[in-house]
A and B are shown apart, each in its own frame.
Chain A
Amino acid sequence: MTFLNFLISGISLGSIYAIIALGYTMVYGIAKMLNFAHGDVIMVGAYICFYAVSRFNLPPLVGVILAMIVCTVLGMVVERLAYKPLRQAPSLAVLITAIGVSYFLQNTALLLWSSNPKVFPSFFVSGSGGTGVELFGGQLKISYVTLFTIIICVIIMLALTWFTGKTKMGKAMRACSEDKGAAQLMGINVDATISMTFAIGSGLAAIAGVLLCSAYPTLVPTTGSMPGIKAFTAAVFGGIGSIPGAFLGGLLLGIIEIFAKAYISTQLSDAVVFAVLIIVLLVKPAGLLGKQIREKV
């Protein structure tokens, strides 16, 4: 039963990684850049939601929506100001800029909200005062946060699959990620599509931020960086650029991390996570679901 407990918390943590990883992988897929500031957008989302709910006493749902709006706009503004002027620049310049944006966001948060940890409010308490469901006579406890996280992640995954597979804009996005020049010849506005990708990724980051802080309620300006790095790892693990890959990579990473913590050592859990990543990349360099593209001549 403890095994099942660990598995469920692994899936829950993995769901958060997966949502963050989706942002990384979509932006990479289309702009061919690693947006290392993505983790810090999560932190901004969490702070916005925190202030909306704790200070302004808004309902949690309004707080989440507000966080999504702010993060979506933030993502688009960052793309416009920091990355778009570098569209033709070497990828190393873009990477360094992304790291710069990451520090910029962290330090701005430090200025605005100080380094004192904020305790994130708990949204998930049922009417009877319980915080979760109990199964098998109380042996298996699943908190509402956990359940909710998993459900949200599945919904996001299904929605994104539908969006990229069935809608005109989603297909245009895939076209851009394959060949920007050809996409332009089709009449697709590549700049607008890239901007939209950042908007979607950042909006998802806001959701991830709220879920993350609901599960681990301490909020500081560096809250986003470690989950950001882990989610990036998850995206690479699953095959960067692939949406199902980010989902799978995130879930596996969360499960491995929790199991490593439970059965090996709390301190070594990150080492185990990254060791698994290295082994997977040695065997499958493109990641679990990554495609090695061969061109026909």
Chain B
Amino acid sequence: MEPILKVEDINVYYGSIHAIKGVSFEVNQGEIVTLIGANGAGKSTTLNTISGLLHSKTGSVTFLGEDLGRVPCHKIVSKGLALVPEGRRVFLQMTVQENLEMGAFTQGGKSVDADLERVYAQFPRLKERCNQVAGTLSGGEQQMLAMGRALMSHPKLLMLDEPSMGLAPILVEQIFDIIRELHKAGTTILLVEQNAQAALSVADRGYVLETGKVVTTGTGHELLESPTIKKAYLGG
């Protein structure tokens, strides 16, 4: 199968710090792929590079056969690639509905109402609070809003950066249920997580990052069973 996203040998620097050292991986149509690793392993940096917020010195990011290296950040989303950033970054002073409308910024005017209905159906909680300012939502609701906002752009690939961060265990479960549902509905997902257990249990395949390099790869199941992974990330 032709991968929809292909990352080849990217190297990213923060000034003199070499954060990503030749990372390569790919995501196939309909898969959930996860990048796991400890703090500072380069997971978020990788996602930010794919979405154009950061730039790689070498290599390439190819999405649906198109090289994204020259595409400015604000054009990426209209190609079908949406990122739910780390820390959610919803627009706190705008209402829930306005946040969702921003997600549809690149969409034509007509479909927005239908998309709002679709996202509200997926997240009934957001519909209840549609006129509330996002800053007054709880952390879990903000995460749902960030995901809903990304879904407004009809992404062909949805990238989630630490969706479970700072959430209570029950909410983490809810978020992962949503990820499973999205997957069932056919969305391709690239998931970055510190919560390796949860991430690997939903993922088709996973890559383990350590200090800017891919050290292991395998199916979600294989990685869950692997003794070294267990020891390093699963606390056992």
Q: State the CA gap A179–B93 with chains docked (Å).
A: 11
Q: State the CA gap A123–B133 with chains docked (Å).
A: 45
Instruction: Among A174, A181, A189, point to the contact of B53 (Cβ < 8 A).
Output: A181
How many chain B residues touch A (Cβ–Cβ < 8 Å)? 31
Taking a contact as CB atoms under 8 Å apart, the answer to whether B135 and A184 are in contact is no
Indicate whether B124 reaches chain A with its CB closer than 8 angstroms: no
Taking a contact as CB atoms under 8 Å apart, the answer to whether A185 and B98 are in contact is no
Chain B residues numbered 133-147 whose CB sits less than 8 Å from any CB in chain A: 135, 138-139, 142
Taking a contact as CB atoms under 8 Å apart, the answer to whether B83 and A171 are in contact is no
Indicate whether A31 reaches chain B with its CB closer than 8 angstroms: no
Given A182-B85, A189-B74, also A171-B139 (CB < 8 A): no
Indicate whether A172 reaches chain B with its CB closer than 8 angstroms: yes
Taking a contact as CB atoms under 8 Å apart, the answer to whether B101 and A171 are in contact is yes
Interface of A is mostly: helix
Indicate whether A168 reaches chain B with its CB closer than 8 angstroms: yes
Taking a contact as CB atoms under 8 Å apart, the answer to whether B105 and A172 are in contact is yes
Most buried by B among A172, A187, A188, A190: A187
Q: State the CA gap A80–B70 with chains docked (Å).
A: 22
Chain B residues whose C-beta falls within 8 Å of the C-beta of A171 in the assembled complex: 94, 98, 101-102
Taking a contact as CB atoms under 8 Å apart, the answer to whether A185 and B91 are in contact is no
Indicate whether B89 reaches chain A with its CB closer than 8 angstroms: yes
Chain B residues whose C-beta falls within 8 Å of the C-beta of A182 in the assembled complex: 85, 89-91
Chain A residues whose C-beta falls within 8 Å of the C-beta of B75 in the assembled complex: 187
Q: State the CA gap A185–B103 with chains docked (Å).
A: 9
Given A296-B142, A297-B166, also A186-B105 (CB < 8 A): yes
Taking a contact as CB atoms under 8 Å apart, the answer to whether B78 and A187 are in contact is yes
Q: Mark B182-212, 1 if CB is under 8 A from A, else 0.
A: 0000000000000000000000000000000
Q: State the CA gap A175–B52 with chains docked (Å).
A: 18
Indicate whether B51 reaches chain A with its CB closer than 8 angstroms: yes
Instruction: Among A174, A181, A183, A185, point to the contact of B93 (Cβ < 8 A).
Output: A174
Q: List 23 A-B contacts (CB under 8 A).
A: A168-B101, A168-B105, A171-B94, A171-B98, A171-B101, A172-B105, A174-B98, A175-B91, A178-B93, A179-B89, A181-B53, A181-B89, A185-B73, A186-B77, A187-B74, A187-B75, A188-B102, A188-B105, A189-B74, A190-B74, A291-B93, A293-B93, A295-B92
Q: Which 7 A-B pairs have the closest CB atoms?
A: A187-B106, A187-B77, A182-B89, A184-B73, A186-B105, A186-B102, A184-B74
